[in-house]
Chain A
Amino acid sequence: MRIRVVAASFAALVAAFVQSAGANAATLDTIKQRGSVICGTAPNLPGFAYTDDKNVRRGFDVDLCRALAASVLGDADKAQLVPLGLRDGFATLTTGGVDVLTHRLTWTYNRDNGGGLDFLMTMYYDGQGFMVLKSLGVKSVNDLKGASICVAQGSTTELNIADYFRAHKMDYRITTFADLDEARNAYEQGRCDAWTNDRSALAARGLQLKNRDAHIILPETISKEPIGPIVRQNDSQWAHIVRWTFFALIAAEELGVTQANVEEMRKSDNPEIKRLLGVGDDLGQKNGLSADWAYQAIKQLGNYGEIFERHLGEKTRLGLSRGQNRLWKDGGLMMAPPFR
């Protein structure tokens, strides 16, 4: 009898942990009522989402969130940024803690299906690479037979490395760290021969290596890592708003609309530019937004190319080239469906 009572209260406690906040209302209504868009981002990743020396959250992922706030609420500063570890990301979203994840989470079948989430599109094409010490004399991933490899858990990297090494019949020793920076520290201190992560993260987190020039990133990319916004399943209005806001940023680059010239472009004769900027047509109303939703996002944040160059591009510390993230017409993979 007493045991049963204890068991019942135990079960109640367990269940209380996972009890979700009432996220029943449409996300857009909640956002308008609240007056801010809440996004989950990586806690500390230079270039993508980090806190600068003035205690302001900055980065590529942060600007995507700000673009959403600009298009939905007309003000980029109404973006609220919540740093989330890999482990907490999905649960925080499904239980209503954030409206959208503009995180570094790879779009995969198992994540997209059966978990109550929707991956919407790809905003950054990444791939997994390896960093080693130059002095090791290793020229290719295929030379890493028998090597110790440091990896951070909770990402797709653990699976990619297993698949790749198995396919190439190479053995290896893995050390899995719960924390992304801890994996790099362990590698730097010699716990492992190689450190693996997405190439963008090798570039970003590699900045904190004491002697970055002593290390090289091996040429092979062993996986594809499409990364983009994630929302809760079953709110297609909100999903459409997120998806098309980001498409608007890409379309703007395609059409030559920049942060600087967006005002002028409102007077453009190009019908697609006019539709995009809400001149003479109101595309926003179908999603419950104002007519100038895309204009606001571009005006306040710039187009996709501008956001990329501002945080990740060759003039930044990360020095990443656009690569596959160029526009389709330049040989890349970024494309927005037509605005008509």
Chain B
Amino acid sequence: MTAETLTPPRGARFALPRGPAAWRAFLIQAAVLLAIAAFTAWVARNVIVNMARLNINAGFAFLGRPAGFEIAQKLIPYTETSSYFDVFLVALINTVVLTAIAILFATLLGFVIGLARLSNNQLVAGVAGGYVAIVRNVPLLLQLFYWYFAVLRPLPNPRQSLNVLDIAFLNKRGLFLPYPLVQPGFGALALTTLVMIVAALWLWRLNRRRRIRAGAPHFHPAALLLLLIPPLAIAWLYDVPLRFDVPVLSGFNFAGGMTVIPEFVAMALALSLYGAAYIAEIVRAGVRAVPAGQIDAARALGLRGGAINRLIVIPQALRVILPPLGTQYIVLLKNSSLAAAIAYPDLMLVFAGTVLNQTGQPLEVMLVTMASYALIGFAIAAVVNVANRRVQLVER
């Protein structure tokens, strides 16, 4: 039986059920639908009536009013005169950036640990297994507290900061890094560099094809280093168009440069390490799902270890890995809302916290917050679905 017999033909019109069984099914479905509709209407009426009775103003007009408070981390321009909607954007971006960083590092680390668990080296496999066992069985909130309170809090005060080459500093107020300042001529440098990278890739492929076809390349690969000359010339011409604003200790703390607040560091660490443990298991399951016979067959064909992994194991493992991986990404997104527990200014802390309190519009604020998480989750799912469709087995 193929899948097609189960799906009704497109454009099917509504038709009355035929036979008693079909009628019964139809009536049950209609009753369930009616019950849901009635319940929804009852709840909606309740909300409307009660809000009117309690004199609570409904609506989203408050989003346009000035917010007037400061936020610890803002990645878009925000002043204390910005509106509540700007606050929402700042908080949303903080959530998205945190989630993106966590997904990136959790994936990288998760793949490494997952493959390490499959290693023939007992020590490597054992350490990886221990990591997964511990991290998966300790609640995330505790891990968050561990990183924030036990690791980052005891760092030195600003004046005794850990100093990296006089350009980066770490203390209990955060991580202070140089910030790139764009000077005139930076655009030209960036463009030239980009063009040269593309050229290098193209020439390298050309060279490789020639080597495979004719046995000898056009030129020695080291000749590609000549492509470095144009960007260097431009850098020299403009007297280095990219300078760095280095943080300097002044007054209470470091000024200038870029500050990564410790709350972000703790969140990113905890989420990445936690997510990695789950992703490691997903990766392990995916690799294990590839039948051993396939690997034997590849060996019989004369493929070596690297090629077997690249051509046989990973493409097939990805089919198993991707769906649960997408779920794990969404779990990471939702877990990022624990940020409120350690003062990272995300959607929960700033929008569903301060804004809710200052405006007294819990219904609207909570709806916007829930919708935001849902939409980011849908977006992640959509991206994973596209990737998933590309790695699926193409049946002929």
Which residues of A come within 8 Å of B, CB atoms?
Answer: 5, 8-9, 11-12, 14-20, 24, 86-87, 90-91, 94, 110-111, 114-117, 145-148, 153-155, 158-159, 161-163, 166, 172-178, 182, 186, 189-191, 193, 232-234
Contact = CB atoms under 8 A, between A and B. Distances in A.
B183 interface: no
B263 interface: yes
Given A19-B43, A153-B353, A148 B55 contact: no
A8 B40 contact: yes
B369 to A, nearest CB: 11
B80 interface: yes
Nearest to B339: A178
Return the 6 tightest CB-CB contacts between A and B, nearest first: A116-B54, A115-B360, A15-B43, A154-B357, A114-B57, A158-B69
B55 A176 contact: no
Interface in B211-232: none
A177 B80 contact: no
A86 B70 contact: no
A186 B154 CA distance: 11
B252 A233 contact: no
B1 interface: no
Interface string B17-55: 000000000000000010011011001101100110111
How many interface residues does chain B have, given as a range?
Answer: 35 or more
The listed residue with most B CB atoms (<10 A of its CB), out of A116, A175, A186, A233, is A175
A159 B50 CA distance: 30
Given A175-B261, A178-B343, A234-B55, A158 B253 contact: no
Contacts of A17: 366
A87 B173 contact: no
Nearest to B352: A87
A110 B349 CA distance: 20
B334 interface: no
B72 to A, nearest CB: 5
Contacts of A193: 252-253
Most buried by A among B33, B40, B70, B340: B70
Contacts of A90: 360, 362
Given A14-B367, A86-B357, A114 B55 contact: yes
Contacts of B367: 14
Interface of B: 33, 36-37, 39-40, 43-44, 46-47, 50-51, 53-57, 68-72, 80, 153-154, 157, 172-173, 250-253, 255, 259, 261-263, 340-341, 343, 345, 349-350, 353-354, 356-360, 362-363, 366-367, 370
Contacts of B253: 146-148, 173, 193
Contacts of B359: 110
Contacts of A175: 72, 261, 263, 343
Nearest to A22: B50
Given A14-B370, A18-B47, A163 B343 contact: no
21 contacts: A8-B36, A8-B37, A8-B40, A12-B43, A15-B47, A18-B363, A111-B360, A114-B57, A115-B56, A115-B57, A116-B51, A145-B251, A147-B252, A154-B354, A161-B69, A176-B72, A176-B343, A178-B349, A189-B153, A191-B262, A234-B55
A175 B261 CA distance: 9
Contacts of B350: 176
B172 to A, nearest CB: 5
Given A90-B360, A153-B349, A232 B54 contact: yes
Nearest to A112: B360
Contact of B349 (A176, A189, A191): A176
